[in-house]
Structure 1
Amino acid sequence: MQFIEFAKEDLVHGKIRRPCKNCKVEKWFPVNVVEAHTLFKGFYKSYKKRIFHGKEDMIHRVVGSDGGNTSEGSLNNESGFDDEWIEEPVTYESDAEYDDSTKEEEAKYKKLLEASEEKLYEGCTNFSKLSFLLHLFHLKCMNHWSIESFNMLLKLILDAFPQILDFPSSFYYSKKMIKDLGLGYEKIDACPNNCMLYLGEFLEKDKCHVCGTSRWAKTKGKGGITSDPGTDTHKKGVPAKVMRYFPLIPRLKRIYMSPETAEYMRWHDTERLGEDDKKILRHPSDALAWKAFDERHRDFAFDPRSVRLGFASDGFNPYRLMNTTYSTWPVMLIPYNLPPWLCMKPSSFIFSTLIPGKASLGNDIDVYLQPLVHELKLLWTGVEAFDAFEGKKFNLHAALLWTINDFPGYAMLPGLSTKGYSACPICIDSTPSDRFGNKICYCSYRKWLPSDHPYRIQGDKFCEKYGTNEWGKAPSRPSGTDILSEQEKVEYVYGKSKAPQKKRQRGDNDNNDVQHESAFGTKRSIFFDLVYWEHNILRHNLDVMHMEKNVSENILGTLLSMDKSRDSRDDRKALENGE
């Protein structure tokens, strides 16, 4: 990030040279593309003297208005750079070459469009060459075919149907044909203790800088890595933990490269409700949270193509009954620009991140969200994209509006408490809770009713510990700014290897000798790195499906004394006696 800020002083038509291992400072790209690409690929090691990045006036002195005849003293005395760094005058490519990346994307899209319209064989109406190949790849993945079996199947198809022309004959050529779909992902090594990701400056490291754990898995009779003393050569093994990240920016660009979907992405702006239907909520764009966001960020809302995203994640066990403790966390993004009959279809979801198990991540989930948050920050400033509906380029912006999760996920993402005495993320320390027997019960819930509601004075019908009537007021909802100011006081260390810390108990104050832990949670949520996040009035949503299933099961289990009852006999007696 420091390098990018330094390099921004040398923008040429909004672009700089990309100093990654692949490009080696030879190609020009927009700043956000350089930032993302260098993050994943790492710096070009030989590029240690930043002669192609820096102050723009230094470049002009090297090129010079007279074709590069600049005095030696002006380089040494004014710019601060030595002669030996400049072997020849720095020249720029033509303006046409600056658009190579965009033109390349457009060419790939046209190539895919032609393949999707090319029939598998003359007279075939059910498949194109591209769709048939994608079906084969889907079957390969679902049935765990080997590459050799896939090659044998292709050979059989070509032998049986010679009318299928120019069809790939092997797995290798098949992958080359569909790679332009942009369905690839980045493998990012992670610390087994969830301390860090091997990205950016840590890309070439061999052990975690937090806990010291090796990056490589140990195999039987072998270590994870061997190094030659005094050299930079390493014999690397298998990474101990790997996450899969599916870059967001290329996928959003791909949405706008189709005229049909590009038009649908404007639906929320072109299909507004009439004056008589303003109170009807048929789409997130009709909600107060969306309207408040547009009101605060008018530059963002001015372009209807700006993408609003929702974030959804939950743990699941991919092994079913084979291993009941394993927990894998996929992260999905929902593009809310689409109309309601499209935005919630599985085909419209954007698969963002696949976080491996074994155990649930807890607060350490933020470690694995770093690449996504990084791209969201780039999308907030804008990236260059092509709008196929209008047939011209535009600056694509995107913002994350809220998350969708169950109640345990609510604790992980914002770092708020969802159990114990302060189980309500809204009430925090004001959560009306008491212990009855071995259970913590949440009482005084009638204070959320209207002040004139009859239930407030019918205390004999409600089992509560204190009093009969309820005259209290509901606690005020903390704003994002309030939560951020408190969470910034928490010094949370990611990973499982950290020393155990004393939990904040009811009655503790800031004068204790233990590390301060905010009443608003146990960590600073990574989403607060987004400049707009603290001002969103609705940051987290609860998944109603989990509420319906779990709450209904618990109520029925308690009333009918079933196995899923949450009460024991002693707990009920303690509740009745008010103990």
Structure 2
Amino acid sequence: MDTSWIDLRKGDTRYYNGCMEFLEVAKETLLKGKTRCPCNKCKLNKWFDLGEVGGHILFNGFYKNYRQWIFHRRVEESNTLEIPNDQENVVGRDDMNGLLRAAFKVDNSPQPTNEPQDPSLSEANFEDEYSYDMHEELNFECEEDDEYPSTNTNEEEAKYKRLREASDEGLYEGCTTFSKLSFLLHLFHLKCMFHWSAASFNKLLELLLDAFPYIKEFPSSYYEGMKIMNDLGLGYEKIHACPNDCMLYWGEFAGKSECHICHRSRWKNVKEKEGESSVKDKGTCKKGVPAKVMRYFPLIPRLKRLYMSSKTAEDMRWHFDRKDGNIISHPADGEAWKMFDKRYEEFAKDPRSVRLGLASDGFNPYRLMNTSYSTWPVILIPYNLPPWLCMKSTSFILSVLIPGKQGPGMDIDVYLQPLIHELKLLWEGVDAFDAYSGKNFKMRAALHSTINDFPAYAMLSGWSTRGYKACPSCVDSTHSYSFGGKIVYPGCRKWLPVDHPYRSQTNEFDGTEEHGLAPVRVSGTEVLKQQEKVKYVYGKSKVVQKKRGRLEDDELDDNDDDNDDNDQDESDRVLWKEK
């Protein structure tokens, strides 16, 4: 049977006629009115009505590796293709097998049934077709591997086997709606959506098991359920930190028992109990109870997962193939993105190179309670996705969760060390698999921008947003003065065009005309030279605060540096607080 029409463009008449011919063939092997969908998105993993399958292949394209049609044509009357009863509804509804294949990097090729087949339709012959490039139109240059060897360890293989058994096993005997794994995932989804506590989740499980005793071998507590969920990966690491934000017990300092800067113990001060402990000040420092714990969510596995899933791998190259039409609708339309592409052409020529946005701010997890507490999450946004996806909460990547009680301030860099380490690895490139093209590639990533309010901007950049030189654009040319006990910042009209009427208006502004020119923005090289003079010691143990509540230390008071313009040479003055 001629299948060359599969390679034609979707609007071609011969392609349309070929799709109609396929639908006529597929009519002979319908099971309960449904058949596998061979479009580019479903790739034989989902079952739909014949009409819906026709719409998919017409608009999404036909899966180019599927040319023998072994699931859609009748070989012999006695060898009708069938699917197991437990997959007719379970797999079609939640696609647990597709989720597991993406999570464990398992071959996504459709598996033939156990019925005897003609040798020409064997599994080996079907897999041989994978040498065909199913996305030839994406002719971008990058390092790729046509082969896709399994890199799973024995431990990962065991996890996959356990989860596969849970996904194939019905919730109870005769259940065709949920498997044990899919039902547990739905429960955890509801827990996250409606903010159930672990105690309420335990009570719900107890009620379900009491009411439906025929549910077999189902987790009876939140803890047991989490053990199953953890096999899916994408967990987090607990990293101990100094209570004064001086250092992390990570990397070369992982085995330390006290901070090498402020010499405070790694462990909490607790009342004396039996066990191993060491006396510290008036309390007892018990080993095993950390004084402060940061949660870190590794970035590389999460970016890999975006490409291992066929549902998101195609969207991750959306920014490359679109047409902007001179409309700014995405960060890729901005000057920063375009200048970065010109400077790093090797990075930019692969559309799968990831651009990330970083956002951070403090919040009180206790809501309306009268508690002064500040927890700081650090969120990453993958800008490769289209605008209607990248700014959805489901696309955000939680990277770091910095505990309170006080915010980290300028010491936030201490907590960003693991993230920066991974970003350096991603700049060089890590091995990953692209489910859209079916090939291995070197995945690279870069931090594109940060999203913050002005106080958080000061924390992440090191530029002080307080005092008389608070503007990061004007820098030394910031026009400011004290008025009514507050610092005001006029002089913004210099950024307008030279002939703008606002420049000569006085009554609407501060009573003066403004005809100066806007200062030239400093380059990144100049900023680095300025920061070479910065000497900043991390940690809050150095803070000396007067009883009146005003900081008198020259290093901490932004106003002191700015008031004493005549006491210090301009060339030696450092406006940056940290590097």
Structure 1: tracts of 5 or more residues without a match: 1-95, 229-233, 525-579
User: CA-to-partner distance for each residue in 1:59-106, whole Å, 9 max, x for gaps?
Assistant: xxxxxxxxxxxxxxxxxxxxxxxxxxxxxxxxxxxxx9x964479768
Q: Deviations over 1:496-517 (max 9, x none)?
A: 1126552452365799599966
- Correspondence for 1:502: 554
Work out whether 1:493 is the aligned partner of 2:545.
no
- Aligned counterparts of 2:568 and 2:517: Cα–Cα separation in 1: 31
SS in 2 for 1:312: strand
Give the counterpart letter for 1:523 in structure 2: E
**Cα pair 2:269 2:286 within 8 Å, conserved:** no
Could you say which residue in structure 2 is the equivalent of 1:43? none
Structure 1 pair 243–167 and aligned structure 2 pair: CA distance change class (3 A): same
Aligned AA for 1:371?
A: P
Aligned position for 1:393? 440
The percentage of aligned residue pairs carrying the same residue is: 64
Find out whether 1:237 has 2:293 as its counterpart. Answer: no
Kindly indicate whether the alpha-carbon contact (under 8 Å) linking 1:214 and 1:224 is maintained by their aligned counterparts in 2.
Answer: no
- From 161, 166, 186, the equivalent of 2:237 is 186
Contact 2:267 2:286 in 1 (8 A): no
CA-based RMSD:
3.3
Change in 2 beyond 3 A, CA 1:438/1:235: closer
Q: Per-residue CA shift, 1:438-479, capped at 9, x if unaligned?
A: 122212222112111112222244324xxx322101111222
Q: Distance in 1 between matches of 2:157 and 2:340?
A: 32
Per-residue deviation, residues 26-49 of structure 1 (Å, max 9, x unmatched): xxxxxxxxxxxxxxxxxxxxxxxx
**What pairs with 1:20-419 in structure 2 (closer than 5 Å)?**
100-101=151-152, 120=171, 122=174, 125=177, 128-137=179-188, 142-146=195-199, 153-154=204-205, 156-161=207-212, 164-165=215-216, 167-171=218-222, 173-221=224-272, 226=277, 236-273=287-324, 277=325, 279-419=326-466
TM-score, length-normalised on structure 2? 0.64
Distance 2:219 2:484 in 1: 69
Closer/same/farther in 2, CA of residues 485 and 165 from structure 1, 3 Å limit:
same
Local SS of the residue matching 1:506: helix
Closer, same or farther: CA 154–443 of 1 in aligned 2, 3 Å? closer
Aligned to 1:505, what secondary structure does the other structure show?
A: helix
How far has the Cα of 1:364 moved from its partner? 0.5
Q: For the Cα contact (< 8 Å) 1:189–1:243, is it kept in 2?
A: yes
Aligned with 2:291: secondary structure? Answer: coil
Report which stretch shifted further, 197-206 or 176-185: 176-185
Q: Which amino acid letter does the alignment assign opposite residue 319 of structure 2? A: H
- Label 1:102 to 1:312 Cα distance change in 2 as closer, same or farther (>3 A): farther
Q: Which amino acid aligns with 2:483?
A: F
**Shift in CA distance, 283/224, structure 1 to aligned 2, threshold 3 Å:** farther
Tell me the alpha carbon deviations over residues 489-541 of structure 1, each in whole angstroms, 9 at most, x when there is no partner: 1010000112655245236579959996622x2000xxxxxxxxxxxxxxxxx
1:289-333 deviations in Å (ceiling 9; x for gaps): 111111111111121111111001100011123343211001111
Query: How far does residue 175 in structure 1 lie from its aligned partner after superposition?
Result: 2.7
Match of 1:74 in 2: none
Distance 2:571 2:214 in 1: 73
- Identify if the C-alpha distance between structure 1 residues 287 and 308 changes in structure 2 by more than 3 Å, giving closer, same or farther: same
What one-letter code is carried by the residue in structure 2 that aligns with 1:505? D
Q: How many residues align?
A: 412
Task: Tell me how far apart the structure 1 counterparts of residues 571 and 408 of structure 2 sit (CA, whole Å).
Answer: 22
**Bigger Cα displacement from structure 2, 161-170 vs 178-187:** 161-170
Cα deviation 1:170-205 (Å, max 9, x = unaligned): 555423321132231111110000000001121111
Aligned pairs for 1:542-553 within 5 A: none
CA offsets per residue over residues 110-143 of structure 1, 9 Å max, x none?
A: 9768866876465655x55434313433566733
Q: Within 2, Cα distance between the matches of 1:241 and 1:132?
A: 36
Q: For the residues of structure 2 that align with 1:205 and 1:411, how far apart are their CA atoms?
A: 31
* CA displacement at 1:373 relative to structure 2: 0.6
Residue 470 to residue 155, structure 1, CA distance change in 2 (3 Å): closer
Deviation at 1:375, TM superposition (A): 0.6
Q: 1:522 is matched with which residue? A: 577
1:220–1:154: structure 2 CA closer, same or farther, 3 Å change rule? same
Which shows bigger deviation, 502-511 or 374-383?
502-511
Given the superposition, is the C-alpha separation of residues 374 and 364 from structure 1 closer, same or farther in structure 2, using an over 3 Å criterion? same
SS in 2 for 1:181: coil
Structure 1 position 167, deviation (Å): 3.7
- SS for the counterpart of 1:218 is strand
Contact 2:467 2:562 in 1 (8 A): no
Give unpaired runs (5+ residues) of structure 2: 1-146, 280-284, 545-552
Tell me the distance in 1 between the aligned counterparts of 2:312 and 2:162: 18
Corresponding residue for residue 4 of structure 1: none
Pick one of 452, 458, 468 that aligns with 2:499: 452
> SS at 1:322's partner residue?
coil
CA–CA distance in structure 2, aligned partners of residues 118 and 285 of structure 1: 46
CA distance in 2, matches of 1:119, 1:295: 54
Q: Report the counterpart of residue 123 of structure 2 in structure 1.
A: none
What is the aligned partner in structure 2 of residue 23 from structure 1?
none
Deviation sequence 1:233-257 (CA, Å, 0-9, x none): x961311111100111111111111
**Structure 1 residues 443 and 383, CA gap change in structure 2 (3 angstroms):** same
- Corresponding residue SS for 2:481: strand
Distance 1:444 1:105, change over 3 A: same
**TM-score, normalised relative to structure 1:** 0.64
Structure 2: how far apart are the matches of 1:516 and 1:256? 49
SS in 1 for 2:357: strand
Structure 1 contact 192–241 (Cα < 8 Å) conserved: yes
